[in-house]
Every structure is written in C-alpha cells, then in structure tokens.
Chain A
Amino acid sequence: MQVRPLLERRLLVVTGKGGTGKTTVAAALALAAAARGRRVLVVETGRDENVPRLLGWQAGAVGYAGARTPAGPFVMRMEPYAALAEYLNVRLGVPAVVARLLRQRAFRQLMDAAPGWRELLTLGKVWHLEQAREDARARFDWIVVDAPATGHGITFLDVPRVVVSAIRSGPLRRHVRWVEELVRDPERTLLLPVALAEELPARETAELVKRLREQVGVALDRVIVNAVARPPFPPALPDLDQRLAALARTPGPEPAVWAACARHLAARAALNRHYVGEIAAGTGLPVVELPLLAAGVGGPADLATLAAKLLEAPAA
C-alpha cells in the first residue's frame, strides 16, 4: 500500500493516551512542515500550553488569539467560551448582547453542565480556520490539532455525528454537517494515533483505531510509536550484560551495578520491540517509530530529530 506523505494533507489530528508524548509529536510535525515552507497552524485543546514553549516561544500564554512562534508555526489554544462568543457573534451579529448573555450566571451554569459543545466548537473553529483565506489563498495550508487524550479523542471527533443525529433541522445542523464532512474527508483530514510500546497503551491504541474506524470514519494510515528504546549494545556484543556481571573488578560502580543497568536497558528495549509488533498487528497499520531520547526532549534540536523521522514514509 502506498501511503500518502503527511505534507499532502490539510488537517492532522494527533491523539493518544496521556503521557504518550502527543504534544511533542504535534510540535515536531509543525516544525517539520514549517521548515518545508508550509504555513502551519497548531491548535492546542488542553488546559495547558506546551507547544509554544517547544517552538521557542518565551512570552506569556498565546491563548485563543494565538501567536506566531519563533520556529514559524502559528499556535493557538482553544478556549471554549471564547469560541462560543465568536460563533454567537457571527450568528447573532450583536456583540454587546452576546457578551451580556455569556456573563449571565444562569447561562454559564447551563453551559458548564452541557456536554459536547466544547468539542463541537473546537472542531468548528478548526473548520473555520481551514476555510480562512488571506491574500487569495488559504491562510493556513497545514493544520495540526493536539487533540484530547484517547477516550476523549473519540468523543471529540464523534460529536458532529452525534449532534447531526440529535438535531432535526436548522442552521446549526447545517454548520455541523460541514464540520462532519471535514472530519470524514480522507483527502483533507488524517488522524494520527500516538502510542507507547507498552502493554496498556498498545491495547488502548488497538481499541482506539477499531472504534475510530467503526464509529467516526476518519482516515488513518499509520500509528506513531513514541519513545522506542534502542538495545544498549551493538549487535556484535549482545551478551555484554553477562560479561559485565562476570568481571572481577570494574572502574567506578561495582560489576553488579554495571550489569544491572545493562540488563534494565536491554529489557526495556526488548519490551518496546515486542509491543511495536503488537501495535502493528493490533491496528493493522504501518508503524512510525520515534527513538527514546535518554535526556528527554529538550528543545528545537531534539524536535528536529523527531520531525525528520515523522516525515519518513512508515515501514509497511
């Protein structure tokens, strides 16, 4: 199967279990696309802002208005009430009235408890930005959404379908249909699941992919497996841990400590190797592996390392 390059899409939605590094992946993708001349937008959906910092932004929060980061991509964070105000302004055309409505305690109580609209407005805003034009061309030609973690990721993408089935007629239904069409359009939109090569994330990823296929109908063409540990020794010296354990003396730590560190790293690498295979088998999708960086992802140089890997065609 020939997999289309990521750069040919318009909208990439990155999701995965908490702690899998999906935000890092979103930032690395944005950096890579910006370096190749794309006008990139990153939409953060969480409460915290992490992408701006990874892209070299030092000032305060970028917020809903967003800002261009030093590395190039434009980054914004979804704020549901700001998006609601924007939508109502467009629909009703009376900003002062909308502002009064949003300040009403009763209205806030109702909205705080009401489900689904946050996800819907987030996707609606993404749709709006996807449509936005500037100088007679698309304002952003490549959009990355750092979507909510797995369980919520499905709700997130499935909300348009649910709303369309719950609302019988009217303008909202029409608008939501446009959003639903964007989510389901394989020409424009791709979902990128990010996993770790461990038992629970592997199983959860297989379930995620299954439900997305059955329920949401969004395009999927690869799984990103993050933080894959490499074996600690070159292939020519596979038994170095045993050799270390058997030494009579070692510089610095005792031989047992050298051997314990070696065994630990080798076991982690073997574990990751096993679950990369499980993820490929469980999802039926090609896998893109990102290496574990021992000292963590520090800044743009580390991101660039990951970005180069991300743009490679996945191994079938």
Chain B
Amino acid sequence: MSRNPDPAEVLLTRRVVACVGAGGVGKTTLAAALGLGAARRGRRTLVLTIDPAKRLADALGVGTLGPEPSAIPRPVLERLGVPEGGALFAMMLDMKRTFDELVGRFAPDAAAQERILSNRIYQHVSDALAGSAEYSAMEKVYEMSARPEFDVVVLDTPPSAHALDFLEAPERLIGLLDSRVVQLLLHPAFSAGRLGLRLFQRGAHQAFQWIERITGFGFLEDVSEFLLAFEGMSEGFRRRAESVRQLLFGPETAFVLTAAASGESVAHARDLLARLAAHRANVVGVVANRVRLWPDGAKPLPAPSERKGWVEQLAAAFEAQAGAAFPARDAARAALDMLDSYAAAVARDAQATAPLLAEASLRGCFVRQVPELPRDVHDLDGLAEIERRVFAKPNDQEKA
C-alpha cells in the first residue's frame, strides 16, 4: 500500500484540508490535531472551526474564538513542538454573520443592502436559504485560503443534516440563481418575448397561482421583493460560488473523513465516501475515531477455551500479594469480567470499523485509528496524543 499518501504529505502539499463526517464523531478535535500536525511540520496553519470547544481553546491559550484568526501563543506552540516558522491560528465560523457580510459585499449600494437585510423573508430564511449556512462556511474557507499569511487552512465542516450539504451548497446557490423561476420573478417583462420561455411561463404562472392559493396572499409579494432586492447581486454571488466550487473540488483541497466506531456511523461514512467520490472530491484519508483498542504492546486475548485456570492463577497471585484475608477469588473474577468486557468492546469496534477501513485502503486513502482516550480531549497532552496517532506511520499503528 505504498501509494497511499500519509497525512504529513497531504498537509505539506494542499492549501485546504476539510474534515468531514457526521456530527459527534470528533471532527473538531481531528481538525485541531491535523492543524497541529501541519504547524509542527513548519506550515503556517489556520484551523477554521464551527464548534466552540471552549476548554481546548483555553488550553491553547486563545480563549474565546472570534470571527478573525487568533494566533496560538508562541510558548504554547513550543510546548507542542512547533518550530520557528510554523504557526497555528484558530477562528470560529459565525455562519449567519458571514451571510450578512456576503450581502454587504455584493449589494450594489447601501440602500439595496438595507432592503435585503430588513426584508422579512430574508430575516426568516437567511439561515436556511439554499444551504446558506454551509455556503457561507465554504465562502470563508475560500477567503482565508487566499490570504498570504496561511500556508494551509484546515476546516472543521459544519454539522449539517446531511454531511454533504456544504459541498453541494455552491451548486445549489448557482442553480437557484440560474433557475428560470427566479429569472422570471426577476425579469418577467424581459423574458416574455422569448418563445422557449413563453411555454414555460404559462406553467410558471400556474405555479405562482397555486403557491398563492396555498400560502395565502402576500407571501409571494415578499418573496419577489426579496428576489428583486437580490437583483444586481446575483452575478457577483454566482461568480463567487463558482470559484468556491473550483477550489473545493480542485487539486488544492483534500478531504479527510472521520467516523466513530459504530455500525451506524460506519454505514454513514461509507455512504459519504461514495458520494464524495461521485463529486470527484479528493478524499485522501479516513480516520476511525474513539476506537477501543488494546493498550500499546498488548496481544489479542486468547479464546475462552484457552483461558482455563485463569481465575485460579489470578486468585493465587492476589493472595500472594495481599494475604489470606483478602477476597482473592472475588477479585480474580472481577478482574476477569473487566478484561472480558474490554475485549468485547475491542471486538465490537474492530468489527464495526473493518468495512470502512478496508474500503478506504482500496480507494488509496491513508487509514488511521485513534483510540478512545480515558478523558475528553481538552488539554495539550490530549491533543498531542491524537496528533501522534494520526501522523504515526502505518506500521507503527499496527504495533500500537
């Protein structure tokens, strides 16, 4: 499998690394660990996050993250082994604010901007319009990746109902702006004379009537006022959305997929992998997160049939240790139960993750397993531990 890349190579050659996966699988932590890995290899790195992992931010010495990059202080970087020349920044994505900013950028004048921001429909829908939250996130990545002070931007993708919404967001926005319904609402007079559209218009007129009948009067008025306010901005939006799409699916962006060690999460991740491939996204790595693994250096447990006499041996050892008054046999049983339940958890996670890891390897991705840690990752040691696991060479992993 020598053709499979390794994480260091990816972070040294790409401008954008996007961590994808369902909510709750540890994307934020992984994004932080990938960012740390890049910085440790001398790159000036920005981690864009959507999750205010407050204790981790505190540990990194950046306190409350805002919508502008905050630098991780030099003493912290030194503790984490980041050399001179390497740097690590973090910032929060405030998606609602970003969309308002976009309106500000593309509006032809202050009055148009005001008209949109105060439109009732905009106020209600800007959170959800055409995946605007996801689109705004992608927009911010584009903006940040163009800044000369960063070599690489690591993105913790927003938790969307469907993890690919954000990828499809530019396309959906372009599709909406180009759609004939919107064109018609914007330019009814302009399009009336064209034969192809005339046929359509009859249908559209009918559609509008129905919408009016279903929703009640006034609703479409607000919608078309909203769309009219967008007139003059749509071209700017369109061009920008196209650039964002080219960045995401171009050679400068790599995707790293994360899954938790459960059947549900793995099924979801495999579905995501297939859909990313269909978009021709460059998926370079798959990380199974919070996997229960044997401790370093342990061999798998022998089969129960080969464990005869273990209770007696353990009980004897406890008795030798603590004397005859100690309930050695109870302790031996409890210890064996403990080891059995640990083994069951390891077996379950291995079984759950195997199909994903096999598929990822076939697709030429790097494959890593990050163990479940005894504590939440909210300190430097925890983050360094994850970074070590992700950047370990695969054969180190097998030994681990």
**Chain A: residues with CB nearer than 8 A to chain B?**
17-20, 23, 46-48, 50, 88, 91-92, 101, 104-107, 109-110, 112-116, 148-152, 155, 162, 165-173, 196, 198-201, 203, 232-234, 236-237, 240, 243-244, 246-254, 256-258, 260-265, 267-268, 271, 294-296
CB pair B210–A237 under 8 Å, yes or no, is no
Is B334 part of the binding interface, using a Cβ–Cβ cutoff of 8 Å? Answer: yes
CB pair A253–B341 under 8 Å, yes or no, is no
State the CA gap A236–B182 with chains docked (Å).
Answer: 71
**Chain B: residues with CB nearer than 8 A to chain A?**
22-25, 28, 51, 53-55, 120-121, 124-125, 127-130, 159, 161-162, 172-173, 175-176, 179-182, 200, 203-204, 206-207, 210, 213-219, 222, 260, 262-265, 267-268, 271, 294-295, 297-299, 301-302, 307, 309-310, 313-314, 317-318, 320-322, 327, 330-331, 334-335, 337-339, 341-342, 344-345, 347-348, 352, 372, 374-376, 378
A-B contact pairs, 17 of them (CB 8 A): A17-B24, A18-B25, A106-B181, A113-B179, A116-B124, A151-B159, A155-B127, A168-B218, A170-B216, A173-B216, A243-B318, A257-B295, A265-B342, A267-B374, A267-B375, A268-B372, A294-B348
A109-B181, A169-B218, A247-B318 as given contacts; A263 in contact with B374, CB under 8 Å: yes
Residues in A with CB closer than 8 Å to B330 are 234, 236-237
CB pair A162–B124 under 8 Å, yes or no, is yes
Residues in A with CB closer than 8 Å to B341 are 232, 265, 294
Rounded to whole Å, the gap between the CB of B138 and the closest CB of chain A is 16
A237-B331, A250-B317, A296-B263 as given contacts; A200 in contact with B161, CB under 8 Å: no
Closest residue on chain A to residue B302 by CB atoms: A252
Rounded to whole Å, the gap between the CB of B7 and the closest CB of chain A is 23
| A19, A92, A248 pick with most chain B CB within 10 angstroms | A19
Rounded to whole Å, the gap between the CB of B24 and the closest CB of chain A is 3
Residues in B with CB closer than 8 Å to A48 are 267-268, 271
CB pair B24–A18 under 8 Å, yes or no, is yes
> Which of the residues A23, A150, A261, A271 comes within 8 Å of B375, measured between beta carbons?
A271
| A50, A173, A236, A258 pick with most chain B CB within 10 angstroms | A258
Residues in B with CB closer than 8 Å to A148 are 161
Rounded to whole Å, the gap between the CB of A280 and the closest CB of chain B is 18
CB pair B301–A199 under 8 Å, yes or no, is no
A113-B175, A155-B128, A253-B301 as given contacts; A260 in contact with B335, CB under 8 Å: no
Residues in B with CB closer than 8 Å to A114 are 125
State the CA gap A262–B375 with chains docked (Å).
Answer: 14
CB pair B25–A19 under 8 Å, yes or no, is yes
Residues in B with CB closer than 8 Å to A169 are 216-218
CB pair B22–A19 under 8 Å, yes or no, is yes
A20-B24, A106-B200 as given contacts; A249 in contact with B130, CB under 8 Å: no
| B206, B320, B334, B345 pick with most chain A CB within 10 angstroms | B345
Closest 5 pairs between A and B when the two form their complex, measured CB to CB: A170-B216, A18-B23, A115-B128, A19-B24, A267-B374
Residues in A with CB closer than 8 Å to B342 are 261, 264-265
Q: A107-B207, A263-B374 are in contact. List 17 more A-B contacts (CB 8 A).
A: A18-B24, A19-B260, A48-B271, A101-B207, A105-B180, A113-B179, A167-B215, A169-B217, A171-B216, A173-B216, A198-B376, A200-B53, A232-B341, A234-B330, A237-B327, A244-B335, A251-B310
State the CA gap A243–B345 with chains docked (Å).
Answer: 23
| A196, A201, A244, A263 pick with most chain B CB within 10 angstroms | A244
CB pair A261–B339 under 8 Å, yes or no, is yes
State the CA gap A265–B363 with chains docked (Å).
Answer: 35
Rounded to whole Å, the gap between the CB of A247 and the closest CB of chain B is 5
A149-B23, A149-B159, A236-B327 as given contacts; A199 in contact with B214, CB under 8 Å: no
Residues in B with CB closer than 8 Å to A23 are 264
Residues in A with CB closer than 8 Å to B347 are 295
State the CA gap A246–B318 with chains docked (Å).
Answer: 10
CB pair A91–B214 under 8 Å, yes or no, is yes
CB pair A240–B130 under 8 Å, yes or no, is no
CB pair A109–B125 under 8 Å, yes or no, is no
Residues in B with CB closer than 8 Å to A152 are 161
CB pair B127–A107 under 8 Å, yes or no, is no
State the CA gap A162–B219 with chains docked (Å).
Answer: 13
CB pair B376–A113 under 8 Å, yes or no, is no
CB pair A104–B218 under 8 Å, yes or no, is no
Residues in B with CB closer than 8 Å to A237 are 327, 330-331, 334
> Which of the residues B54, B120, B179, B375 comes within 8 Å of A166, measured between beta carbons?
B120
Rounded to whole Å, the gap between the CB of A9 and the closest CB of chain B is 26
Residues in A with CB closer than 8 Å to B207 are 101, 104, 106-107
State the CA gap A281–B337 with chains docked (Å).
Answer: 33
State the CA gap A23–B265 with chains docked (Å).
Answer: 12
Rounded to whole Å, the gap between the CB of A200 and the closest CB of chain B is 7
> Which of the residues A109, A240, A256 comes within 8 Å of B338, measured between beta carbons?
A240
CB pair B335–A262 under 8 Å, yes or no, is yes
State the CA gap A18–B121 with chains docked (Å).
Answer: 30
State the CA gap A17–B24 with chains docked (Å).
Answer: 6
State the CA gap A173–B121 with chains docked (Å).
Answer: 15
Closest residue on chain A to residue B218 by CB atoms: A168
State the CA gap A105–B183 with chains docked (Å).
Answer: 14
Rounded to whole Å, the gap between the CB of A299 and the closest CB of chain B is 12
CB pair B301–A252 under 8 Å, yes or no, is yes
CB pair A258–B214 under 8 Å, yes or no, is no
Closest residue on chain A to residue B259 by CB atoms: A19
State the CA gap A261–B340 with chains docked (Å).
Answer: 10
CB pair A199–B378 under 8 Å, yes or no, is yes
CB pair A115–B307 under 8 Å, yes or no, is no
State the CA gap A201–B53 with chains docked (Å).
Answer: 11
Closest residue on chain B to residue A233 by CB atoms: B334
CB pair B338–A233 under 8 Å, yes or no, is yes
CB pair A251–B307 under 8 Å, yes or no, is yes
